[in-house]
Chains A and B, each alone.
Chain A
Amino acid sequence: AQSVTQPDIHITVSEGASLELRCNYSYGATPYLFWYVQSPGQGLQLLLKYFSGDTLVQGIKGFEAEFKRSQSSFNLRKPSVHWSDAAEYFCAVGPYNNNDMRFGAGTRLTVKP
C-alpha cells in the first residue's frame, strides 16, 4: 500500500535561514512525488514534482527537492526562507495520472522575524 510520512508536524525557522522538510514514502511501483503548499484559506499549490530523470528537482518560489530511492525520501529544501513561506506543506505520492494520490499529514512552517 502506498503511504507518505512527514515526520515533522511543526517547524519554526528564522527568516533567512535554510529549510528542510522531510518526506518518506512507501510505494509499490515507480513513485511520482509531489510537494504542495497550502496557505490559510487557500487551495493547495504545486511547488514541484518528480516523475523521472534528475533526482534533484527545482520548483517554484526557490524550492527544490531531492529524490533518494535508497532512503525512500523526497525532502524539500530552500536555502533562505522568507516570511511569506509560512504555510502548511504537504508531500504526496501517486501515479502519473494523479488518480490515486496519497498525502502526508503535512508540516506547518512558522517563520520567525
Chain B
Amino acid sequence: GAVVSQHPSRVICKSGTSVKIECRSLDFQATTMFWYRQFPKQSLMLMATSNEGSKATYEQGVEKDKFLINHASLTLSTLTVTSAHPEDSSFYICSARFSGRYTDTQYFGPGTRLTVL
C-alpha cells in the first residue's frame, strides 16, 4: 500500500517554543492531507483538512493561529504548533488521501508524539 511518513516521530520541547511536524506521502501525490490528534485511550480527533495550494480547513474548536498548517506541495504538509504548552502534549497523526480510479483511501502516517515540558 501507499506509504506516509512523519517527522519527527517524537519531540520534547519547552513551553513557549514552536514545533514543526512534517507529513510526507512517499509514493503518491496527495491533494488532501488530514491532521489528527489522539489523546491516550481516546479516539483520533480530526483537527484540520489540508489542501495543496490553499488554506487549511479547521475543525470547530481548533485554533488556526496555534496550529499552523502548510501544504506547499502534493507530497508534503506541515503542522506547526506555535507557542506550545503542556496541554498541547499529544499524539499527532497525519493522513494523506489517495484518489484513484476505483478507490479513495486515507493512508496514515506513524504519528508524532509531542511532549511539552
Closest to A49 in B: B105
Whether B32 and A43, one on each chain, are in contact in the complex, defined by CB atoms closer than 8 angstroms, is: no
Q: Is B54 an interface residue (CB 8 A)?
A: no
Whether B41 and A101, one on each chain, are in contact in the complex, defined by CB atoms closer than 8 angstroms, is: no
- Residue in B46, B105, B107 whose beta carbon sits within 8 Å of that of A100 in the complex: B46
Q: Is A70 an interface residue (CB 8 A)?
A: no
List chain B residues, Cβ under 8 A from A45.
Answer: 1, 108
In the assembled complex, the CB of A16 is this many whole angstroms from the nearest CB of chain B, namely 28
In the assembled complex, the CB of B9 is this many whole angstroms from the nearest CB of chain A, namely 7
Interface size class of B (residues with CB under 8 A): 20 to 34
Whether B1 and A46, one on each chain, are in contact in the complex, defined by CB atoms closer than 8 angstroms, is: yes
CA distance A98 to B41 in the complex (A): 23
Chain A positions 92 through 113: 1 when the CB is less than 8 Å from some CB of chain B, otherwise 0 = 0000111111111110000000
The answer to whether A106 and B106 touch (CB under 8 A), given A41-B9, A46-B1, is: no
Whether A41 and B44, one on each chain, are in contact in the complex, defined by CB atoms closer than 8 angstroms, is: no
Q: Is B104 an interface residue (CB 8 A)?
A: yes
- Residue in B4, B41, B45, B49 whose beta carbon sits within 8 Å of that of A43 in the complex: B4
* Count, chain A residues at interface, CB 8 A: 22
CA distance A103 to B45 in the complex (A): 7
Whether B97 and A98, one on each chain, are in contact in the complex, defined by CB atoms closer than 8 angstroms, is: yes
CA distance A96 to B99 in the complex (A): 11
Can you list 29 pairs linking A and B with CB atoms under 8 Å apart? A41-B110, A41-B111, A42-B110, A43-B93, A43-B107, A43-B109, A44-B44, A45-B1, A46-B106, A46-B107, A49-B105, A90-B43, A90-B44, A96-B104, A98-B105, A99-B32, A99-B49, A100-B46, A101-B106, A102-B43, A102-B46, A103-B36, A103-B44, A103-B45, A104-B43, A105-B42, A105-B43, A106-B42, A106-B43
Q: Which 6 A-B pairs have the closest CB atoms?
A: A44-B108, A43-B108, A103-B44, A43-B110, A105-B43, A103-B43
